[in-house]
Amino acid sequence: MSEQKRTFVCHVDDLPPGTMKFLPVGKQGIGVYNVKGDFYALSNYCPHRGAPLCLGPVSGEVRPGDEPYELTWERDQEIVRCPWHGWEFEIATGNALALKNHKARSWPVTVEDGSVYVEGV
Ligand code: FES
């Protein structure tokens, strides 16, 4: 039986909601995010032109409201914006918001005995 590779990130208390820890693995590294208590790992490589995606700000999304010309702010802390050209990605999945056929690579994250791990790296 082969064991799944995993990499220790930090203690869970060192990655509070709304923060990101950079994991210097592989060619570009991985950003590990705490989004409202759930953990996600995204490649630090933007699929558009290769920018260091995880240096971009964590944000939300402006959506049309119920009334004409009304805008609402939604999904706060769930989106990362690429620092080069502003493409936005859902942290939970890596999916680009505007271009559904583009995706940043992602990995599963687990928490075990108070420690955060990225699986498969
Ligand atoms: S390199 Fe990320 S949006 Fe262009």
Task: Using the atom order of ligand 1, give the atom closest to the CA of residue 82.
Answer: 2
Long-range contacts of 75-80 (CB under 8 A, 24+ apart): 77/17, 77/18, 77/35, 77/36, 78/35, 78/36, 80/31, 80/33, 80/42, 80/53, 80/54, 80/56
| CATH top-level class of 6-115 | mainly beta
Q: How would residue 1 be classed by pLDDT, with cut points 50, 70 and 90? A: low
Q: What is the pTM of this model?
A: 0.92
What's the pLDDT tens digit per position in 30-50? 999 999 999 999 999 999 999
Query: One-letter amino acid identity for 51?
Result: A
What average pLDDT does this structure show over 26-30? 95
Q: What is the residue extent of each domain of the chain?
A: 6-115
Residues with a CB atom less than 6 Å from ligand 1:
46, 48-49, 51, 82, 84-85, 87
